[in-house]
Chains A and B, each alone.
Chain A
Amino acid sequence: MTFRGMLLASVAVACAAMPVSALADTSDKKIALSNNYAGNSWRQAMLTSWDKVTGEAVKAGVVAAADAFTTAENQATEQAAQIQNMILQGYDAIVLNAASPTALNGAVKEACDAGIIVVSFDGVVSEPCAWRIAVDFKEMGRSQVEYLSKKLPEGGNLLEIRGLAGVFVDDEISAGIHEGVKQFPQFKIVGSVHGDWAQDVAQKAVAGILPSLPEIAGVVTQGGDGYGAAQAIAAAKRPMPVIVMGNREDELKWWKEQKDAKNYETMSVSIAPGVSTLAFWVAQQILDGKEVKKDLVVPFLRIDQDNLEQNLAKTQAGGVANVEYTQADAIKVIEGAK
Chain B
Amino acid sequence: MRMVDRISRAPWIWSWFAAFLVWFATIMVTGGASTLGLSQAALTFAAFSIIVGIGQMFVITLGPGNIDLSVPATMTLAGTVALKLMDVDNAMILPGLITAILIGIAVGITNYALIKALRIPPIIATLSMSFIVQSAAIWTNRGLRIKPPSFLADFTTSTTLGVPNVSLVALVISVIAWFLLEKTIYGRWISAIGQSTPAARMAGIPVDGIRFITYVFCAVLASLAGYLLACFSGGAALNMGTEYLLMSIAVVVLGGTAVAGGDSNVPGIWGASLFMFLVVSMLNTYGLGAGFRLIMTGLIIISVIMLAGGRQPGAR
- Are the C-beta atoms of A250 and B138 separated by less than 8 Å? no
- The smallest C-beta distance from A168 to any residue of chain B, in angstroms, reads 13
Return the contact of B45 from the options A196, A199, A207 (Cβ within 8 A).
A207
Also in contact, A200 and B41, with CB within 8 A (given A39-B239, A191-B284)? no
- Chain B residues positioned under 8 Å from A212 (CB to CB): 26-27, 29-30, 33-34, 38, 281, 285
- For B141, list chain A residues within 8 Å (CB): 318
- Which residues of chain A come closer than 8 Å to B157, judged between CB atoms? 231, 235
Contact yes or no, B285 A209, CB < 8 A: yes
Given contacts A204-B277, A207-B44, contact A40 B238 (CB under 8 A): yes
User: Is B144 an interface residue, CB under 8 A from the partner?
Assistant: yes
Distance in angstroms from B86 CB to nearest chain A CB is 16
The interface residues of chain B lying within 8 Å CB-to-CB of A205 are: 280, 284
Q: How far is the CA of A233 from the CA of B141 in the complex (A)?
A: 28
Which residues of the other chain, B, contact A138 by a CB distance below 8 angstroms? none
Per-residue CB proximity of B93-134 to A under 8 Å, as 1/0? Answer: 000000000000000000000000000000000000001001
**Residue B243 CB within 8 A of the other chain:** yes
Q: Is A236 on the interface with B (CB-CB < 8 A)?
A: yes
B277 touches A208 (CB 8 A): yes
Give CA–CA (A317, B138) in the complex, Å: 14
- Min Cβ gap A256→B in Å is 13
Partner of A203, one of B34, B233, B290: B233
Whether B287 is near chain A, meaning CB under 8 Å from some CB there, is yes
Q: Which residues of the other chain, B, contact A44 by a CB distance below 8 angstroms? A: 138, 142-143, 238
**Residues of chain A with a CB closer than 8 A to B229's CB:** 200
Whether the pair B145, A209 counts as a contact (CB closer than 8 A) is no
Q: Which residues of A (188-219) have their CB < 8 Å from a CB of B? A: 191-194, 196, 198-201, 203-205, 207-212
Asked if A38 lies at the interface with its beta carbon under 8 angstroms from chain B, I say yes
A41 to B41, Cβ gap below 8 A? Answer: no
B294 and A165 within 8 A (CB): yes
On chain B, the residues within 8 Å of A210 by CB distance are: 37, 41
Query: Nearest-CB distance from B69 to chain A (Å)?
Result: 12
Are the CB atoms of A199 and B237 closer together than 8 Å?
Answer: yes
Report the separation of the CA atoms of residues A319 and B237 in the bound assembly, to the nearest whole angstrom.
Answer: 11
State which residues 151-172 of A face B: CB under 8 Å.
162, 165-166
Q: Answer yes or no: A9 CB below 8 A from chain B CBs.
A: no
* Minimum CB distance partner of A238 in chain B: B37
Q: Which residue of B lies closest to A204 (CB)?
A: B45
Interface size class of chain A, counting residues whose CB lies under 8 Å from the partner chain? 35 or more
Chain A stretch 129-181: residues in CB contact (< 8 A) with chain B? 162, 165-166
Contact flags (1/0) for B3-30 with A, using CB distance below 8 Å? 0000000000000000000000011011
Known contacts A192-B287, A204-B277, A210-B41; is-contact A40 B145 (Cβ 8 Å): no
- Contact of A208 with B284 in the complex, beta carbons under 8 Å: yes
Q: In the bound complex, do residue A72 and residue B131 qualify as a contact, i.e. CB atoms below 8 Å apart?
A: yes
Question: In the complex, which residue of chain A has the Cβ closest to the Cβ of B79?
Answer: A200
Could you tell me the distance in whole angstroms from the C-beta of B7 to the nearest C-beta in chain A?
A: 29
Residues of A within 8 A of B285 (CB): 191, 208-209, 212
Chain A, interface SS category: helix
B291 interface residue per 8 A CB criterion: yes
Check B235 for interface membership: any CB of A closer than 8 A. yes
How many chain B residues touch A (CB < 8 A): the figure is 45
Give the contacts of A25-45 with B (CB-CB under 8 A): 38-41, 44
Specify which of A48, A166, A198, A211 lies most central, judged by the most chain B CB atoms within 10 Å of its CB.
A211
Q: CA separation between A180 and B178, bound complex, in Å?
A: 53
Instruction: Tell me the nearest residue of chain A to B157, going by C-beta.
Output: A235
Output the least CB separation between B183 and chain A (Å).
34
Which residues in B have their C-beta under 8 angstroms from that of A317?
144-145
Are A318 and B45 closer than 8 Å at their CB atoms? no
| In contact, A231 and B234 (Cβ under 8 angstroms) | yes
Specify which chain A residues have a CB less than 8 angstroms from the CB of B277 in the assembled complex: 204, 208
Q: A200: which B residues are within 8 A, CB to CB?
A: 229, 233, 237, 239-240
Q: Which of chain A's residues 238-259 have a Cβ closer than 8 Å to chain B?
A: 249-250
Which of chain A's residues has its CB closest to B45's CB?
A204
Q: In the bound complex, how far is the Cα of B280 from the Cα of A208, in angstroms?
A: 8
A208 touches B38 (CB 8 A): yes
Nearest CB in chain A to that of B288: its residue: A192
The yes or no answer to B90 lying at the interface (CB within 8 A) is: no
A207 CA / B141 CA spacing, docked (Å): 28
Q: Does B303 contact A (CB under 8 A)?
A: no
Closest residue of A by beta carbon distance from B279 = A208
Q: Are B45 and A209 in contact (CB under 8 A)?
A: no
Kindly list chain B residues whose C-beta atoms are within 8 Å of the C-beta of A191. Answer: 284-285, 287
Chain A CB within 10 Å, residue with most, of B29, B234, B237: B237
* Interface residue? A281 (CB, 8 A): no
Q: Mark B233-253, 1 if CB is under 8 A from A, else 0.
A: 111011110110000000000
Tell me if A318 and B280 are in contact (CB < 8 A).
Answer: no
**Are A231 and B233 CB-contacts (below 8 A) given A194-B290, A207-B41, A318-B144?**
yes
Can you show 6 pairs from A to B with CB atoms below 8 A apart? A41-B142, A44-B238, A192-B287, A198-B237, A205-B284, A208-B280
For the complex of A and B, 3 pairs with smallest distance between CB atoms:
A211-B37, A318-B144, A208-B281
Enumerate chain A interface residues (CB-CB to B < 8 A).
38-41, 44, 48, 72, 162, 165-166, 191-194, 196, 198-201, 203-205, 207-212, 227-228, 231, 235-236, 249-250, 317-319
Can you add 9 more A-B contacts, CB < 8 Å, to A41-B237, A212-B34?
A: A39-B239, A165-B291, A166-B290, A191-B285, A199-B233, A207-B41, A212-B30, A231-B233, A319-B142
